[in-house]
Structures are given as C-alpha cells and as structure tokens.
Amino acid sequence: MATDTTIHTNTDSSSSKPTFVPLDFAGPLPTPTDSVDQAKADLDRAGYAILTGAIPLDQIRQMRQILADEIVRETAIDEAAISGGAFDPDKKNRRLNRLPNRHPLFRDILEHPVVLELTKYILGPTVGNESYLVHSYDANVTRPGSGQQAIHTDASTGIRHQPAPFQARFIWTLDEFEEENGATRIVPGSHLADVDITGATHYESIPAIAPLGSLIIYTDKLLHGAGANISTDRERASLNLGYCMPWHRPMINFPVIVEPKVMQGASVALRQLLGYSETTIGYYERWDGAGSELRELCVSPTMAY
C-alpha cells in the first residue's frame, strides 16, 4: 500500500535526536465521508479516513450508555483499575477492557461488515484464506482535564522499518469528536514514513474531527494519539480496536478472557476473529488444556466472511 518516504525533522545538534517534526502533508485532509471507496482513497493518501453512516446512531447511543453504566460499576469496584492506561499521560481518562463480556453489542460490532471489508483491503490475502484475528479492543473515554497521549504508532511488534501495515485499526466514535474534547490527533501522511519514534520527539498533529458514530480508519503505521480534553464538561468516548494477520500474536488472548457462556451461539466469523480455533492452516493442535466448554466453541479458521 505504501512506499517509504523520509519524514523531515528538525534536529537538536547536540544529540542529533529529532525534537520537533512539523506537519509535512500535501493536499487536502480527509473529511468525513459516507463513501467506502472515498475512505479507502483517503486511507491510501493520508493514512486515515473518517467514514460516517456505517452504523445506526441509536446503536451507538446504546453502546455509549452501556459503557457509561459499566464505568460506574467498575468505579465502585476499583476506580484505579480503569483510570488511565500504561500509555496514557495521566489517570483522568477511563479505559475499559473485556468488552466482549459486557454486552452483545460489543461482540456484534467486531464483525461489522465494513470493518471486515476494510481489514481485507488493508491487510490483503492470508495464506490458505485463514481468518484475521482481533488484536486488541478497549474503550477510551477522555474527560475534562485529560492530557494528550504521546504521539505513537500501534505497532506492537517492536519491529523497526516495518514495511507494511500489520494491523488494520479502527476507532468508533461514541461521542462527537471535537478538538476540545480530545479528538484523536493524527500526523497525516506519516503512514508512508519510516519513523523511528523517540520519546523526545514532538510531532505536530491535527485533530480527527468526526461526527458521532463515525469509524476512524488507520493502520499501525500511522502516528496518532488521543487528544487532550480541554473542555470543561464534555467527555469523548470511543471503541478502539485492531485486527491483525493470523500469524501475528494478538495483544489479547480472548479465549481465556471471554466467558465461554457469552460465546455460545456466536457466529463462526466472530469465533474465528477472537481466535477460537484449534487448527491453523495445515496443523491441528487440540486444546487439551482447555475445558470442554471452551473446546466446543472452536471452529475452523478458514475465513467465513
């Protein structure tokens, strides 16, 4: 999808480490679109796209309410556990994981057809047509006073000079994303650069302003980060998730995180995406260490979508 270019940096002559990287992107920035073809073009050109109209707004509002209720519930149990994450700048935002356990809507959205189409577009074919895997999945709620997350890529492999995307990444906006409430910040065009991130570097970025219920699409090659919430009274909630190749180790081991009872009756596609397969193409490794309840959920990994 991409050819490598150089990202231009100002350097601190004493350390030769880049300290400030100004925006360096020619052409108009992507704007929200309801066209999947336009979104694909934006993704190729700018490294991200904002797709609208992919999901009914009442479904988005319902998920927002469930998320709020779950945060209240978890706050009463252990507020610290959901306050900020390892890569957040402070403890003001809320991070909620284990989403597939919490509500069917949080499971259904993992197999949204547009997300699967875009994952195919970004990652391309797999050997033996084996299913992609959900790599990671959580909710992030910025709150008034939350700081800006450091600009980063979502590449978890630690591989330098990564030649192609290893993850298709998505953010569902459960609130309207505005600069003031912490819209995700993006370095347009950075998906084409061979970036070696150092903590000392400040990247100039722009906010991904998006209506409620948008799907922000990017890859693990794009520089981005949650924005600071400088509003006095507005939260900004999102579902953040990624899909990876079947040979790429997901960040989350879903079959041992998700309660087997919530997966009973789940589609074959959802089971594949969450890694419920005793088989990889050509190999069968029985899940002897798992209980029968879990083993009965296993399906063939050959892409059913």
Ligand X SMILES: O=C(O)CCC(=O)C(=O)O
Stretch that binds ligand X, among 40-48, 100-108, 222-230, 288-296 (CB under 6 A): 222-230
H helix or E strand, kind and range, residue 66: helix 57-78
Smaller CB distance to ligand X: residue 48 or 276?
48
Shortest CB 284 distance to ligand X, Å:
35
Query: Roughly what angle, to the nearest 10 degrees, separates helices 113-123 and 36-46?
Result: 40
Strand spans (E) along the chain: 10-11, 18-21, 48-51, 94-96, 133-142, 167-173, 185-186, 202-203, 206-207, 215-219, 224-225, 236-244, 279-280, 283-284
DSSP secondary structure letter of residue 130: B
DSSP secondary structure letter of residue 268: H
Smaller CB distance to ligand X: residue 95 or 271?
95
* Residue 154 in the binding site for Fe ion (CB under 5 A): yes
Number of C-alpha atoms within 13 angstroms, CB side, residue 272?
Answer: 20
Q: Which two tokens stand for residue 117?
A: 């189409």
Smaller CB distance to Fe ion: residue 50 or 270?
50
Q: How many residues bind ligand X (CB under 6 A)?
A: 9
Residue 184 touches which member of Fe ion, ligand X, none, C-beta under 5-8 Å by kind: ligand X
Shortest CB 95 distance to Fe ion, Å:
12
Smaller CB distance to Fe ion: residue 139 or 303?
139
Smaller CB distance to ligand X: residue 135 or 224?
224
Site for ligand X in 225-264 (CB under 6 A): 225-226, 238, 240
Shortest CB 55 distance to ligand X, Å:
18
Q: How many residues bind Fe ion (CB under 5 A)?
A: 1
Shortest CB 86 distance to ligand X, Å:
9
Stretch that binds Fe ion, among 105-113, 151-159, 260-268, 284-292 (CB under 5 A): 151-159
Q: Find, among 238, 242, 228, 39, the residue nearest to 145 by Cα.
A: 228
* Residue 135 in the binding site for ligand X (CB under 6 A): no
Q: In angstroms, rounded to a whole number, what is the distance separating the alpha carbons of residues 168 and 44? A: 12
Q: Which amino acid is at 29?
A: L
Q: Which two tokens stand for residue 38?
A: 């336009």
Smaller CB distance to Fe ion: residue 131 or 238?
238
Shortest CB 61 distance to ligand X, Å:
19
Cβ 187 vs Cβ 70: under 8 Å: no
* Residue 32 in the binding site for ligand X (CB under 6 A): no
User: Looking at the DSSP assignment, which residues form a beta bridge with residue 51?
Assistant: 33, 215
Which residues contact Fe ion (rule: CB under 5 A)? 154
Which residues contact ligand X (rule: CB under 6 A)? 140, 149, 154, 184, 224-226, 238, 240
